[in-house]
Structure 1
Amino acid sequence: MKPDNEPVRVVLADDHDMVRSGIKALLGMVGGVDVVAEARNGEELVALVDAAPPDVVMTDISMPVMDGIAAISVIHERHPEVRLLVLSMYDTVDFVKRAVASGACGYLMKDAPPFELEQSIRSVMATGSYFSPAIAHRLLQPAEPTANDELTERQVEILKLIAQGKASKEIAFDLGLSPKTVDVHRARIMERLRLNDIASLTRYAVRKGLVKP
């Protein structure tokens, strides 16, 4: 147990300096909470935690070099005592479940009211978990179908490459197919998912965890 007179040490991770500064300023107004370090990506975050494990890590998901979920997985394996909180703009069940499976014990949204920052830290320190009401509500909803439920294995493979920005010729070369065959698959994917453009396909792939945000 942490002594009552010792502050809760927090490490923040977000690749946007302004966002990180805003969160730090809000936490600075919370008594008994001390932001001891900041990271711009998952790799920096892991290094900071390895050097001096904090009580709580509050991290974004979408970051360069190493994303938040990958960093959570590494930190949870090396430092299981550290509470790992996700602060993200992504509210889909897929993202929440991936974060929890990697070791996160809490999840809240970036558009949450400021008081939730304090509430989330207090809660994970006292009970070991915190999920904002909006996230908890989503987790109680029936599970969404996965990409593998909606598409064939080949279609999922092609969708991943489309979401990575590859053209039909590049995908055809990578998979040993003809560009025409790739175009047919893309049309069938759009038909199955009822999506009409590449941007929508990319958002779907990100939401389902097929590609990194």
Structure 2
Amino acid sequence: MKMSPTPQHVRVVLADDHELVRSGIKSLLSMVDGVEVIAEASDGSELIQLVDSLTPDLVMTDISMPGMDGITAIAEIHQRHPQVKLLVLSMYDTVDFVKRAVANGACGYLMKDAPPFELEQAVRSVMATGSYYSPVIAQRLLQPSEPTADDELTTRQVEILKLIAQGRASKEIAFELGLSPKTVDVHRARIMDRLQLNDIASLTLYAVRKGLVKP
């Protein structure tokens, strides 16, 4: 049964690093009355630039993208444009991902494997009520969850862990973050001690599980 038309014209900026995924979502959204995709981005930096110049009503973004990821982009957009609604469209269904997204400003979370009608439902719900969560996500949010990376580590430690998991050496990390290699090594030792992990492989697996880097 087709839902009633949206009460307003909804301008959407869509972000995903896979062109085929963006094309599919854009095609589905084009069939929704009152909804228009006005621009597309393939990474977080490009997304922020588009939002700054276009100020859309709604941003739909993936989390895992090259360069600046979706979570970082969401936080930046929320700070600059608090009126813009931010809806995550992701393949990851862990509570950790969802909580990180929401903590940074997302108001909804939609699974990529959701049926097509749910895309329209999510857009309408976010614009009308300010939030939407896929049923599987809503159910998991009600269940007890393990601590997130942000609960277990400081902001700087999370930043360094992400770079370690991307295969960066201490000197590279130090240069990128404006630290000394020795400081990076101290942070790495503290991260390992805090997480009770003993090698880079284990740190990388942790980072992937917590949604800090792509698998």
TM-score between both structures, scaled by the size of structure 2: 0.75
1:10-29 aligned within 5 A: 10-29=12-31
Paired amino acid for 1:126: A
Which aligned pairs between 1:1-213 and structure 2 lie closer than 5 A? 6-146=8-148, 163-165=165-167, 189=197, 198=201, 202-209=204-211, 211-213=212-214
The alpha-carbon deviation at position 202 of structure 1 amounts to: 2.9
CA shift, 1:51, in A, is 0.7
CA contact (8 A) 2:166 2:213 kept: no
Q: For the structure 1 residues 22 and 75, does the alpha-carbon distance in structure 2 shift closer, same or farther, using more than 3 Å as the test?
A: same
Number of the residue aligned with 1:194:
none
Structure 1 stretch 14-23 or stretch 60-69: which is displaced more? 60-69
User: How far off its partner does 1:150 sit?
Assistant: 8.6
Pick closer, same or farther for the CA change 1:40–1:148 going to 2, 3 Å. Answer: closer
Deviations 1:99-155 (A, max 9, x none): 10110000011111111110110001110000111111111111214469999xxxx
Question: For residues 51 and 111 of structure 1, what CA distance do their matches in structure 2 show?
Answer: 31
Displacement of 1:189? 2.9
Distance change in 2, residues 1:189/1:54 (3 Å) = same
Query: Number of residue pairs matched?
Result: 192
The CA RMSD measured in Å over matched residues stands at 3.4
* Structure 2 CA distance for aligned equivalents of residues 37 and 115 of structure 1: 22
Distance 1:7 1:208, change over 3 A: same
CA distance in structure 1 between the partners assigned to 2:120 and 2:160 by the alignment: 43
Question: What TM-score do the two structures reach when normalised by structure 1?
Answer: 0.75
Q: Comparing 66-75 with 157-166, which one deviates more in the overlay? A: 157-166
Identity %: 72
Q: Displacement of 1:206 after TM fit?
A: 2.1
Q: Within 1, Cα distance between the matches of 2:53 and 2:160?
A: 41
Which consecutive unaligned segments of at least 5 residues does structure 1 have? 192-196
Pick the structure with greater CA Rg: 1
Deviation at 1:6, TM superposition (A): 4.0
Deviations 1:71-125 (A, max 9, x none): 1111111111111000011111111111101100000111111111101100011
Cα 1:162–1:39 change in 2 (3 A) is closer
* 8 Å CA contact retained: 2:165, 2:213: no
Q: Which runs of 5+ in 2 are unaligned?
A: 1-5, 173-180
